[in-house]
């Protein structure tokens, strides 16, 4: 069953770019990445799904329920971590967490202690005294505390040090094992590559494509490095070459064509060495955004 | 939940305002016996004031010599003006604060409807205002004990209290609507306080000359004017109707606006 489903979801603003014609779905138990540069519409999409803002046209469902009409029921089962965490300054961490849990009508003190301990968060501190990273941890505990079926994370790792990121990713894997679906927005590709099963790439408010991480990296696109005996003023002219860089006696290609054709083309060249690799997600990503 | 949160958050302000207002009321009423004793010399002194000034403060129609007259001139002014400022401050912050401080993103991600948010915050405003007025009534009843030998006309007193509460609710409702529409709490607060102060001056100026008399219809302070209520023994039905209409319309508007608006921080 699709946990989240968007049908041509559109949000237009007078001045700012919103999102247009966004359609994709997230399956149960998936870790779904949502990737694009700042301002591409990631947060707009998430805020529309949570009904902070109303869609201009199109529609979407979460757990099969309409995001506008049944928003309250949806949110009962959603944990949300905003990209910027803002809480009530007069509260202590524990106050905020109990306040949050009471809305969901389930407060599990043991789970709270466990989550806080794993993220190394002192719940007796005042929120206003916390650093940015520690506030983020409060946000993470708040989002996971009530054992939601769907966890929506908007740029969750900003402000966390690498060790904490590691703990956080472990937590997410456990949540997934528990049966949760995770919707993970980010502009950092390496973490999406590490965490997610599938990814939606968006650009300027539009969906570019939805693909499994496997297909994105292992599909046709290859990184090819050609090394020559000596510096050759040479370009490889071949259909399927997305990008090429020439450095002294080395040529780097991003190639998405047929491998046979490439090999026959290379056959006559004075090659010293040849390296064919999977590209990183960064490289594929840059390709989508450069065009 | 939100109600309890608002109750806690606003408790300190409520206590401070209650202590100040209650103290002022008791203090003022404790001076009444002296005023009553020296009534004759006082009335002469009053006559020395320019007529317009007497009118502006309602001293022409009420006398310091009777308990209600004294209450109407001195205490009623305090409860209406200070209470209205409190009402405006309380209500103008209550919704917009969440947006201003960006905590609304937390609140809206919880399983709660926008109507519930507005309703619970409105309930907090109502309860806080009723408590402040309750304290004022208690302080007045305590203060009346100084006036030995003077009967307390409870019916008139009750009318004055009701008028005051209606007045506070009117300003609170206007501020509450602004709070649902705007984001910057500082701006809302300035506008809300300005509305109260301007309304207060309209009422004062309307007493100054016949040309300005029309101003009184634009001031809720006139609707709750002590002289009218004491002398007529009733609050004018028209004034009650206007205040009730303003309260209902603005509160209704607050619910509608808040339900429909895009909230992004």
> Is the pLDDT reported for residue A291 higher than 60?
no
Residue B5 has a pLDDT of 94
Q: What is the DSSP code (8-state) at residue B49?
A: S
- Phi first, then psi, for residue A80 (nearest 5°) are -125, 130
What is the 8-class DSSP label of residue A92? B
Q: Model confidence over A144-160: pLDDT tens digits?
A: 999 999 999 999 988 88
CA distance B173 to B117: 16
Q: Are A196 and A34 in contact (CB under 8 A)?
A: no
Spatial contact of B93 and B84, defined as CB atoms under 8 Å apart:
no
CA closest to A50 among chain B residues: B109
| Residues in chain B within 8 Å Cβ distance of A102 | 1
pLDDT of residue A220: 66
Class of domain A220-290: alpha beta
Confidence at residue B12, expressed as pLDDT on a 0 to 100 scale: 95
Lowest mean pLDDT among A109-113, A117-121, B203-207: B203-207
Arithmetic mean of pLDDT, A213-234: 76
Best residue of B2, B97, B111 to probe chain A, by most A CBs closer than 10 Å = B111
Task: Give how far Cα B113 sits from Cα of A70, A190, B119, Å.
Answer: 10, 37, 10
Confidence of residue A267 (pLDDT cuts 50, 70, 90): confident
DSSP string, A56-110: SEEEEEETTEETTTTHHHHHHTEEEE-SS----TTSBHHHHHHHHHHHTT---HH
**Strand duo A2-11 + A57-62: pairing:** antiparallel
Name the more confident of A282 and B181.
Answer: B181
pLDDT at B113 (0 to 100): 95
ipTM above 0.90, yes or no: no
* Torsion over CA: A155, A159, A164, A166 (sign): positive
User: What pLDDT is stored for residue A147 in this prediction?
Assistant: 93
**Joined tokens for residue B154:** 């409870």
Amino acid A221: pLDDT: 74
Nearest to A78 among B104, B109, B264 (CB): B109
| Mean pLDDT over each residue of chain B, to the nearest integer | 89
pLDDT per residue over A182-215, tens digit each? 999 988 877 888 889 999 989 889 998 898 888 7
Residue A164 pLDDT greater than 70, yes or no: yes
Which residue has better confidence, B16 or B217? Answer: B16
Cα B73 from chain centroid? 15
What pTM was estimated for this model as a whole? 0.86
Domain extent listing, chain A? 2-217, 220-290
CB contact under 8 A, A99 and B1: yes
CB contact under 8 A, B105 and A86: yes
Residue of A nearest to B115 (CA): A72
- Does B84 or A160 have the greater pLDDT score? B84
* Predicted confidence (pLDDT) per residue in B182-219, tens digit: 989 899 999 999 999 999 988 888 877 777 778 888 88
- Lookup result for tokens 């709490």: B185
The residue that leads in pLDDT, A271 or B132, is: B132
**Distance in angstroms (rounded) separating the CA atoms of residues A31 and A156:** 14
Separation CA B241–CA B36 (nearest Å): 36
- Encode pLDDT of A6-56 as tens digits: 999 999 988 778 899 999 999 999 999 998 888 889 999 999 999 999 999
Count of CB atoms within 10 A of residue A217's CB? 16
Q: Which CATH architecture group holds A2-217?
A: 3-Layer(aba) Sandwich (3.40)
Q: What residues of chain A, 188 to 207, have a C-beta less than 8 Å from chain B?
A: none
Confidence of residue A260 (pLDDT cuts 50, 70, 90): confident
B41 touches chain A (CB under 8 A): no
Q: For position A257, what pLDDT does the model report?
A: 78
Classified as helix, coil or strand, B205 is: helix
Determine the Cα–Cα distance for residues B102 and B93; give it in Å rounded to an integer: 13
């Amino acid at each position: 069953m699709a946990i989240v489903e968007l049908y041509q979801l559109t949000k237009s603003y007078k001045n700012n770019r919103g999102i247009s014609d966004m359609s994709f779905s997230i399956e149960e138990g998936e870790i779904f990445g949502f990737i694009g540069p700042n301002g591409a519409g990631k947060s707009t999409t998430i805020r529309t799904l949570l009904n902070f803002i109303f869609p201009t046209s199109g529609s979407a469902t979460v757990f099969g329920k309409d995001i506008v009409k049944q928003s309250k029921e949806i949110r009962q089962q959603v944990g949300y971590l905003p990209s910027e965490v803002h809480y009530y300054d007069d509260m202590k961490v524990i106050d905020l967490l109990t306040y949050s849990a009471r809305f969901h009508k389930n407060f599990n003190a043991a789970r709270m202690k466990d989550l806080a301990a794993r993220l190394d968060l002192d719940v007796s501190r005042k929120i206003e005294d916390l650093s940015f990273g520690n506030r983020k941890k409060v946000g993470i505990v708040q989002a996971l505390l009530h054992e939601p079926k769907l966890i929506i994370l908007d740029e969750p790792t900003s402000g966390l040090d690498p060790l904490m990121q590691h703990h956080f990713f472990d937590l997410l894997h456990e949540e997934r094992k528990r049966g949760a679906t995770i919707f993970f927005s980010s502009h950092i590709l390496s973490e999406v590559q590490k965490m997610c099963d599938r990814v939606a790439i968006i650009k300027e408010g539009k969906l570019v494509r939805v693909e499994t991480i496997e297909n994105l990296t292992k599909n046709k696109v290859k990184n090819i490095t050609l090394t020559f005996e000596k510096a050759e003023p040479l370009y490889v002219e071949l259909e399927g070459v997305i990008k090429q860089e020439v450095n002294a006696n080395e040529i780097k290609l991003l190639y998405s064509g047929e491998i046979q054709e490439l090999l026959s083309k290379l056959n006559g060249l004075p090659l010293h060495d040849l390296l064919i690799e999977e590209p990183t997600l960064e490289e594929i990503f840059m390709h989508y955004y450069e065009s | 939940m939100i109600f309890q949160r608002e109750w806690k958050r606003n408790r300190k302000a409520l206590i401070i305002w209650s202590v100040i207002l209650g103290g002022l009321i008791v203090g003022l009423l404790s001076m009444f016996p002296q005023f009553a004793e020296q009534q004759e010399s006082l009335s002469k002194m009053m006559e020395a004031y320019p007529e317009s000034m007497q009118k502006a403060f309602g001293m022409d129609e009420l006398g310091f010599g009777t308990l209600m007259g004294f209450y109407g001139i001195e205490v009623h002014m305090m409860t209406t003006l200070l209470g209205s400022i409190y009402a405006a401050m309380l209500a103008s912050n209550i919704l917009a604060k969440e947006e201003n401080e960006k905590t609304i993103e937390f609140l809206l991600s919880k399983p709660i409807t926008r109507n519930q948010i507005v309703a619970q915050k409105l309930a907090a405003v109502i309860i806080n205002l009723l408590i402040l007025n309750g304290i004022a009534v208690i302080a007045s009843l305590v203060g009346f004990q100084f006036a030995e030998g003077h009967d307390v006309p409870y019916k008139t007193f009750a009318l004055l209290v009701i008028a005051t509460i209606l007045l506070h609710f009117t300003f609170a409702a206007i501020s509450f609507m602004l709070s649902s529409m705007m984001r910057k709490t500082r701006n809302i607060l300035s506008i809300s306080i300005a509305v109260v102060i301007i309304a207060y001056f309209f009422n004062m100026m309307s007493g100054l000359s016949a040309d300005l008399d029309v101003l009184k219809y634009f001031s809720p302070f006139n609707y709750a004017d002590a002289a009218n209520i004491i002398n007529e023994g009733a609050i004018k039905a028209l004034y009650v109707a206007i205040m009730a209409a303003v309260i209902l319309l603005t509160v209704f508007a607050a619910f509608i606006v808040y339900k429909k608006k895009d909230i992004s921080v």
